[in-house]
Structure 1
Amino acid sequence: MTVDLLIRIVLAGVLGGLIGLERQMRAKEAGLRTHILVGIGSAMFMVVSKYGFADMLSSDHVALDPSRIAAQVVSGMGFLGAGTIIIQKQVVKGLTTAAGLWVTAAIGLVIGSGMYEIGLYGTVLALLVLETFRRISHLLIGKQHTLLVNLKPKSVPLVLLVLQRERIRYGHIAVVNRDPESGLCELSVEVTLSRRASTGQLYEKVMEVKGVSSLEMM
């Protein structure tokens, strides 16, 4: 029994590490070590929740809920996931990594409970979504970027006109951080670039707009 529980904890860490490796290769907020620790911790919580109080059950008038501790992992992961979500210059990042941590915790709970097949299946499915679906999304829809443009306020419509002429889809638009001394503001635009779109050509077109000081693509 002890050997089986140790195998569960190690396996949960290994499966969590596979997801973490994919995230670290993408230079995301939570990487290999974080996902391994989440997998190990979740498996240990499940083991304790399921088997840790077996000696108490022999006592009179004692009734335990074997899912009570494991259930707290689900809510507790919300705090850890929130730590990977950042808002930088009106752009929200880290949602996929937070979801990956949440799935890793679920895999740890599943492995800790002894359902090896479900844990392995969940890991393969998570990696499929993170990697394969990312490529499909970039192929069919395009890759999302955020343009940060320092420019004169009157040049904002001109930059948007350039995006329309280049047939580049754009979404959320925000104008922030106006500098009274220089008269410049910062335009943040979420754009979707297809594989055929040239980032170099887009950079040149935007910089040609009168009043544009600098351009950064994230």
Structure 2
Amino acid sequence: MTIRLFAAMLGGGMIGFEREWGNHHAGLRTHMLVALGAALIMLLSMYGFSQFAEEPNVRMDPARLGAQVISGIGFLGAGTIIRNGLSVSGLTTAASLWVSAAIGLSAGAGFYFVTALATVLMMITLLALNGLGKRVIPSRTTKTLHIVVEDAPGMLKQISHALDTPNVKLGYLNVESMDDGMLGIRISYRTKKQNLFLITETIKLIPGVKSVGNYKEASL
């Protein structure tokens, strides 16, 4: 049992170290505790009620408590997911917590080879595939577009039409009245980095647009 608990902490700790190194919300201690708790629950489910195994009308199910870990770890993962406009962060950390719980269950059940293999595969996913994905998949940037325009009919329609392209995903829209008959418009959108200049220049060509500015929110 001691070996199983330490194996769970080692597997969860390796994943948590990578998350801590990347300055993510849930780090080394969180992942170690998740894996340790999952292993402990699995051991409890397998051996904690052995005194009742010989009782009449008692049916033992060692997987019952472990199944609750898989579904119950979701509340902890949800706490690491943060949404800001079009940007969503923490999904990978939430998934790593879920896998750490599975590694803990595996170690608690005594499947050392599976535990080690899952830990190695998880580290490959977090380290090697992360760099590969950034090189192969073009990154998309979430920006907030600040536009000052004349308060004239049809201005919003023209601006929305300029952003209505397959490569642009629109987020929130905020319109404020300004002095001298002007409107301040803020639009969040997500697109590939190479499209940023083209979008700005297209909006500048609309009659009535006085100024356009891009402000970066996050990179996905």
TM-score in terms of structure 1 length = 0.79
Q: Do structure 1's residue 130 and structure 2's residue 93 form an aligned pair?
A: no
Report which of the two structures shows the higher radius of gyration computed on alpha carbons.
Answer: 2
Give the alignment of 1:59-138 within 5 angstroms: 59-138=55-134
- 3-state SS of paired residue (2:186): strand
Amino acid at match of 2:100: T
Q: Report Cα offsets for 1:15-55 as digits up to 9, x if no partner.
A: 11211122222222222221111111111111111111111
Give the alignment of 1:169-180 within 5 angstroms: 170-180=167-177
Alignment match, 2:140: 144
Structure 1 Cα separation of the partners of residues 213 and 192 of structure 2:
22
Q: Do structure 1's residue 16 and structure 2's residue 9 form an aligned pair?
A: no
Q: Report Cα offsets for 1:52-73 as digits up to 9, x if no partner.
A: 1111113233222111111100
Offset of residue 127 of structure 1:
1.3
Structure 2 Cα separation of the partners of residues 47 and 181 of structure 1:
65
Aligned-CA RMSD value = 3.0
Alignment match, 2:207: none
Note the residue ranges of structure 1 that are not aligned, 5 or more in a row: none
Q: Report Cα offsets for 1:121-152 as digits up to 9, x if no partner.
A: 00111111122111111111123332222224
Offset of residue 104 of structure 1:
0.8
Larger deviation, residues 28-37 vs 46-55? 28-37
Note the residue ranges of structure 2 that are not aligned, 5 or more in a row: 150-154, 205-209
TM-score in terms of structure 2 length = 0.78
Is the CA contact (8 Å cut-off) linking 1:170 and 1:189 kept in structure 2?
no
Amino acid at match of 1:189: Y
Q: Do structure 1's residue 30 and structure 2's residue 26 form an aligned pair?
A: yes
Structure 2 Cα separation of the partners of residues 50 and 106 of structure 1:
16
Runs (4+) off by over 4 Å? 153-161, 205-210
- 3-state SS of paired residue (1:186): strand
Percent of residue pairs bearing the same amino acid type? 36
Alignment match, 1:188: 188
- The structure 2 residue matched to 1:42, chosen from 22, 38, 43, is 38
Amino acid at match of 2:187: L
Higher relative contact order, chain-length normalized (CA < 8 Å, sep 6+): 2
Alignment match, 1:56: 52
Structure 2 Cα separation of the partners of residues 42 and 114 of structure 1:
13
Offset of residue 105 of structure 1:
0.7
- 3-state SS of paired residue (2:176): coil
Structure 1 Cα separation of the partners of residues 69 and 38 of structure 2:
7
May I ask how many residue pairs the two structures share in their alignment? 202
Q: Report Cα offsets for 1:135-183 as digits up to 9, x if no partner.
A: 111111123332222224758469859xx9xxxx944222423333473
Larger deviation, residues 56-65 vs 147-156? 147-156
Q: Per residue, is there more strand in 1 or in 2? A: 2
Structure 1 Cα separation of the partners of residues 211 and 126 of structure 2:
40
